[in-house]
Amino acid sequence: MKTKPIAKPRILVVGSSNTDMIIKLDRIPQPGETILGGEFVTAAGGKGANQAVAAARAGGDVTFIARVGRDMFGEKAVTGFVQDGIHAQYVTRDPAAPSGVALIFVAKDGENSIAVASGANGLLSTADVKNAKRCIAGARAVVMQLETPQATVQAAAELACRAKVPVILNPAPARKLPGKLLMLVSILTPNETEAELLTGIAVRNEESAVRAAEALLARGVATVIITLGARGAFVAAASTRELIPGFQVKPVDTTGAGDVFNGALAVALGEGRTLIEAVRFANAAAAISVTRLGAQPSAPARNEIEALLASPGAFAPALSPDDGWGVGGPGVQAISLGGFGLPMETTAGEKP
């Protein structure tokens, strides 16, 4: 008897699309310094597009809302989306603005420095989002970042909230966010730098991660996941305070790792995994991505993620016992949830 295949969860991503121009260097240049580099490559990028591609490869049925220019970069980007099985009917080709580009330096230790010219991304409008209202309402999760206008992010969050669809917001690039937006967010996924900007609390160890996460929960966010690179991710929700360890891999390029994390997280949650299981799945996807050059090219396929999760010692902490990041330390509860929190239906500006 044949088993019925599990339907792919519908994931909707609102965000940016860029073409990344990457130079590999021994180290990142200092201000005013010129360094002769090595390999130069171009790759598809943009935080929104990265998340969409990551979600599609992780097993999601993905729709992407974005703007690109009517140029070779935009055409190539849309072709790539279709090849990854992403529904691109809401990717608008702007008649005036160029496609976004990012200039990226990658050091030999995997660290990077990035500058972005937004182009058409800066013109993604509330009307673009409202045109996809029905698609938003039918999604299992809406995923967003901050490389498009904040008013557009707000509009998408409001539409999702009214339809009782969870909103996953990656607050990057880092900026201050209004309470009316945070109150609509089901899961906020800052890294250490972004968490500090949002809360004023420097995240240096598990204790400070707890304080930063609780400050964000107090502002109305249902769940906070602070991504910590190789250390993993710290999860805070109503009944959870847990550090989910990362994976020990040799980094080649960390560009896009956070985007891969968010795309994979949305898929895992959309499939009905617990919050902790979903973070482990996302950690595995992100770990694979840093072993490869480029943002979208580094996003792993579903079978690769599952293989890493199934490997011996897969959940061994990528932590040092002396750096202040203990797993299950004093005052930290390790409690798995059966799902992820939804904000109550509200009008804009009202606290759930």
Asked if pLDDT for residue 58 goes beyond 90, the answer is: yes
The pLDDT-based confidence of 108 (bands split at 50, 70, 90) is confident
Asked if pLDDT for residue 37 goes beyond 80, the answer is: no
Nearest to 64 by CA among 114, 149, 124, 117: 124
Asked if pLDDT for residue 130 goes beyond 90, the answer is: yes
- What positions carry a catalytic annotation? 259
What's the whole-number mean pLDDT along residues 288-298? 90
Summarised one tens digit per residue, pLDDT across range 178-234 is 999 999 999 999 999 999 999 999 999 889 999 999 999 999 999 999 999 889 999
Asked if pLDDT for residue 321 goes beyond 70, the answer is: no
11 half-sphere exposure, CB direction, 13 A CA radius: 33
Residue 20: predicted pLDDT:
87
More reliable by pLDDT, 316 or 272: 272
Q: What's the Rg (C-alpha) of the chain?
A: 19
Bond prior to 173 in cis (omega within 30° of 0): yes
Let me know how many helices (H) and strands (E) the chain has, helices first.
Answer: 11, 13
Hey, which CATH number is domain 10-310, 2.30.40.10, 3.50.50.60, 1.10.10.10, 3.40.1190.20? 3.40.1190.20
What's the whole-number mean pLDDT along residues 45-50? 95
What's the whole-number mean pLDDT along residues 306-326? 65
Nearest to 17 by CA among 85, 71, 59: 71
Residue 80: predicted pLDDT:
96
CA torsion sign for 81, 147, 66, 186 is positive
Residue 81: predicted pLDDT:
97
